[in-house]
Amino acid sequence: MKPSTKPFSNFEWMIAWRYLRSKRVDGGVSVMTWISLIGISLSVFALIATLAVRSGFRTEFVSTILGANAHVSVYNSPYINLDGVVTSGFSDYETASKKIASLNGVVSVSPIVKGQVMATANGKNKGVEVFGETLANVKKLPLIINPESSMGSVESFDKGVAIGSGIARSLGLRIGDIITLISPNGAKTAFGTSPRISGFEIVYIFQVGRYDIDNTRIYMPLLDAQTYFNRENLVDEFEIMVSYPENVGNLKSFLINVIPERGLIWTWRDANGGFLNALQMEDNIMFIILSILILIATMNIVSGLIMLVKNKSCDIGILRTMGLTEGSILRIFFICGASIGISGTLIGVIMGCSFVIFIDPIFNTINYIAGGGVWTAEKYLLSNLPAELRLEDVIKACSLSLGLTFIITYFPARRAARMSPVEALQYD
């Protein structure tokens, strides 16, 4: 009976290391080793960098949504009151606000008045959406208070209106100018409802980096909005901010018990679910494509090991005649392949993490060399390329690379182990 050796003994590592360092005149094995190493490194680097950028874009998108919009909106559909008039809105909104605010997880509740009007100034017109809120509630919107850029002071909100930078640019407006708002549902007279035309001073201009906000949104003091839209003592919606927006669905069952009659619930996920699902699908497809690249890179290890087994067949025969078991031969060549995969994965992780950490200086350098056309904030509405390095993405890339390496390496190593000494010594 052949004596058994301890798995992964020192001599197995020594022989594997000598095989990896061996140089032939034609350089075949050495070249394949370097090709495999570089291929795995670049594949892991690409996977980590792509996942980080995709995570950054999703985080940027979600933070923009949550920073300027309600996490949950409570509204009601039009109904016929006791007088036979079609109406909508909530009357006792202060009491309802207190009930909603008492729920666990609710940060703030903002009663608002909303309406779509025509804005005009300097002979130009633009359709806009007006949000009637109190100054205290406007200050609870992170992106409005701390936008990418702003002009004026939000503290003067009670004296005028706050508008998006896109509206200001389209109508040629600055701080202190008057913007005229035209609503078809104006004052009610004996001859019907006449359009309401009112001018408001611009006290604050914000730019959050979202087209649908910067180009369409105007914030107006709540009392002024109630008067302008004929909503005296009424509000159209309750905008609710919660502690954990990602788990907003769990709050629905509790909200139903405290919202006013005929109240309907609409969350930020309901409004943006299609886009978020599209992002998730794109992430999955991108992961599959890059996984295929890693698979192709690991296949180079198979080619290199097959060449190594062929070149070292005589050595295999000698080692078997000296008493090495099939297990020892298998582990020697497995170490050769696994070492390439582990080294390539480690280099790829270092490259990927470094790229994500220093992504701004890298893109600034590339942008400078290219003359400033690679990344512009005006074009992409982002001051920099968002990237978020997450531990789970790094672990996912490492697990995929190492898993494929170990699986693929096993088969040529097993082939080398099953070569009989007589068969191995036939090769020169």
Each residue's pLDDT, cut to its tens digit, for the chain (428 residues) gives 445 567 767 777 777 777 766 655 444 456 777 888 888 899 899 999 988 888 888 887 777 777 777 888 888 877 666 666 667 778 888 888 888 888 888 888 889 999 899 999 988 999 999 999 999 888 888 888 888 888 998 899 989 999 999 999 999 999 999 999 998 876 666 556 678 889 999 999 998 877 778 889 999 999 999 989 888 888 888 988 888 887 887 888 788 888 877 788 888 888 777 778 888 888 888 888 888 888 888 887 887 777 777 776 676 677 767 767 777 777 888 888 888 888 889 999 999 999 888 887 877 777 777 766 655 555 555 556 778 888 988 998 899 989 988 888 888 888 777 766 656 555 55
281 and 414 in a common domain: yes
Q: Is residue 282 part of a domain?
A: yes
144 and 41 in a common domain: no
Cβ(21)–Cβ(312) below 8 Å: no
The structure tokens listed for 211 are 């087209």
Cβ(193)–Cβ(144) below 8 Å: no
Number of domains in the chain: 2
Cβ(89)–Cβ(211) below 8 Å: no
- Where among 261, 295, 329 does a domain terminate? 261
Cβ(219)–Cβ(138) below 8 Å: yes
Q: Residue 350's beta-bridge partner residues?
A: none
Q: Rounded distance, CA 175 to CA 200, Å?
A: 11
90 and 229 in a common domain: yes
Alpha-carbon distances of 67 from 20, 102, 337, rounded to whole Å: 55, 22, 50
Chain Cα centroid distance, residue 185: 41
Cβ(393)–Cβ(52) below 8 Å: yes
Q: Rounded distance, CA 107 to CA 116, Å?
A: 28
- Where among 213, 231, 261 does a domain terminate? 261
Q: Is residue 239 part of a domain?
A: yes
- Where among 232, 261, 290 does a domain terminate? 261
44 and 91 in a common domain: no
Domain that holds residue 411: 10-62+276-425
Q: Is 382 exposed, middle or buried (0-12, 13-18, 19+ CB in 10 A)?
A: middle
Residue count of the chain: 428
243 and 152 in a common domain: yes
293 and 256 in a common domain: no
Cβ(98)–Cβ(294) below 8 Å: no
Chain Cα centroid distance, residue 260: 35
Helix or strand run (H / E) with residue 75: strand 72-76
409 and 289 in a common domain: yes
Chain Cα centroid distance, residue 137: 27
Dihedral sign for Cα atoms in the order 80, 83, 84, 85: negative
Q: Is residue 343 part of a domain?
A: yes
Q: Is residue 268 part of a domain?
A: no
Q: Is residue 253 part of a domain?
A: yes
User: Helix 326-357 crosses helix 391-417 at what angle (to 10 degrees)?
Assistant: 160
Cα angle 32, 36, 39 (rounded to 5 degrees) comes to 135
Q: What is the largest CA-CA distance in the chain?
A: 113
Helix or strand run (H / E) with residue 198: strand 196-207
Chain Cα centroid distance, residue 318: 57
Residue with tokens 């839209």: 229
Query: pLDDT digits over 261-298, tens only?
Result: 778 888 888 877 777 888 888 888 888 888 888 888 88
Alpha-carbon distances of 53 from 60, 67, 373, 390, 417, rounded to whole Å: 10, 20, 20, 10, 44
The upper half-sphere exposure of residue 323, i.e. CA atoms within 13 Å in the direction of its Cβ, equals: 5
Q: Rounded distance, CA 233 to CA 89, Å?
A: 10
Q: Find, among 383, 96, 369, 415, the residue nearest to 257 by Cα.
A: 96
Alpha-carbon distances of 109 from 27, 106, 233, 237, rounded to whole Å: 72, 8, 17, 10
Q: Rounded distance, CA 318 to CA 82, Å?
A: 102
122 and 251 in a common domain: yes
26 and 95 in a common domain: no
Alpha-carbon distances of 359 from 40, 56, 184, 372, 377, rounded to whole Å: 21, 12, 50, 16, 15
Q: What pLDDT sits at residue 71?
A: 85
Q: Is residue 71 part of a domain?
A: no
Q: Rounded distance, CA 248 to CA 242, Å?
A: 7
Dihedral sign for Cα atoms in the order 57, 63, 66, 67: negative
Q: Is residue 1 part of a domain?
A: no
240 and 96 in a common domain: yes
Q: What pLDDT sits at residue 337?
A: 83
Q: Is residue 174 part of a domain?
A: yes
In this prediction the pTM is 0.68
86 and 57 in a common domain: no
The structure tokens listed for 376 are 């512009």
121 and 237 in a common domain: yes
